[in-house]
Structure 1
């Protein structure tokens, strides 16, 4: 998912992020690619216990001192005890939101287990756990299954240092109360970002790249 992000920012735009904060990193499928492409700093966040252990192994194997794995469920507030809906596809579709339309789009994915999980805002998580690494990151990747606006609401301080945001988006309705593409675009304008790329699939979801207004202004000034 997020290596497509590097394909676009570096391969097509010639801009390599200094570092990446990846919320919803799962088992670290992109870690080796981040390292191979020259990313020096990365904060990789994943809430699911077993999946997180696999992520830790990937980070260790990468041998990059600037890569840090953190176990947390990011949300708009600290300390909320919410249901975590566990998906059968190795946790790839697991979410803090209850699945709804996802069952129809992907009937092969089951949600038979729930557990309680305590939330953290991204701002607070980075402050207490990895401030030194996080300060070197200017890209944010969100793969949070419909909770994008909730995560961003708890990341307003972090967003001030971010130039690029890569978000897995949908038309909405995959999870109860999820963020639709239109809602995300509107919210991102308020945070000072504009959409630079969008690729949707026939399954009603896709990926979008947002650039900070200052990055866009710089590109326009130098063209």
Structure 2
């Protein structure tokens, strides 16, 4: 019996889908910037995953904005991605990116004979410690928008104060991560997530408090921490260390930016 060929013909459709999947991320003159940011994230996150022996499975990407890191997760080997973003206009761009990238991933999976298909989900809501609705502060720089009110006095640089100015205050749906994932499971999703990435501007602790069941399956957490109280009521790094420590996590790596007032910490489940 002849063995099936391992070769596939190149599909021009892949090139078209690639362009569509990233077109909404690139700014008109910012292709180099997007590549630079993505490559840096691949290098940093990839090194941390290897260092702590984390096998990429699925990632919960909270505060996804327009999906800047979607291709980072796919390049790192994650097959399941859930992206969460509450801002309506931003979410429309995110959904477009997710749809085009899913189409490209499907072609790629077929070409590579993958047994497990890539799954990309999106949800339009904010993540906190309860289900319902809440006020959401939309900043001049939409990536800085938050459930927490900005504390502009903590910013000495004029450009940062301008970026943190509130354009509008809107009401958004709020979910706990536990209830959102439960709903997806009831809808037939069988995705597995072992990584949690939070970029939600001062609402990190509330999101973690609403994810106690989810955290039982998480091995690696990467989140933004506040050195200064950039948002009213934002948790300190020590607050998050204490909460996650009680649930079996320990900080494994971090970086701080004193002039901006924030930083990042990677937490790993104790083995």
Q: TM-score range by the shorter chain?
A: 0.7 to 0.9
In the TM superposition, residue 70 of structure 1 has moved relative to its aligned partner by: 1.0
CA contact (8 A) 2:82 2:122 kept: yes
Q: In structure 1, what is the equivalent of residue 261 of structure 2?
A: 204
CA contact (8 A) 1:35 1:62 kept: no
Q: How many residues align?
A: 212
CA contact (8 A) 2:224 2:264 kept: yes
Structure 1 residue runs without a partner (length 5+): 218-223
In the TM superposition, residue 14 of structure 1 has moved relative to its aligned partner by: 5.1
Q: Report 1 or 2 for greater relative contact order, CA contacts < 8 Å, sequence distance ≥ 6.
A: 1
- CA root-mean-square deviation: 2.1
**Deviation digits for residues 182-221 of structure 1 (CA, Å, limit 9, x no counterpart):** 11111110121000001011312111000011xxx2xxxx
Structure 2 residue runs without a partner (length 5+): 1-36, 106-117
Segments of 4+ moved more than 4 angstroms: 1-5, 11-14, 130-135
Structure 2 counterparts to residues 25-40 of structure 1, below 5 A: 25-40=64-79
The correspondence for 2:155, drawn from 104, 110, 122, is 104
Q: Aligned with 2:241: secondary structure? A: helix
CA distance change for structure 1 residues 111 and 57 in 2, over 3 Å: closer, same or farther?
A: same
Using the TM superposition, name which of 70-79 and 131-140 deviates more.
Answer: 131-140
CA distance change for structure 1 residues 149 and 3 in 2, over 3 Å: closer, same or farther?
A: farther
TM-score (norm 2): 0.72
CA contact (8 A) 2:54 2:219 kept: no
CA distance change for structure 1 residues 5 and 85 in 2, over 3 Å: closer, same or farther?
A: farther
CA contact (8 A) 1:5 1:166 kept: no
Q: Higher helix proportion, which one? A: 2
TM-score (norm 1): 0.87
Structure 2 counterparts to residues 41-56 of structure 1, below 5 A: 41-56=80-95
In the aligned structure 1, how far is the partner of 2:190 from the partner of 2:152? 35
The correspondence for 2:146, drawn from 95, 112, 134, is 95
In the TM superposition, residue 151 of structure 1 has moved relative to its aligned partner by: 0.4
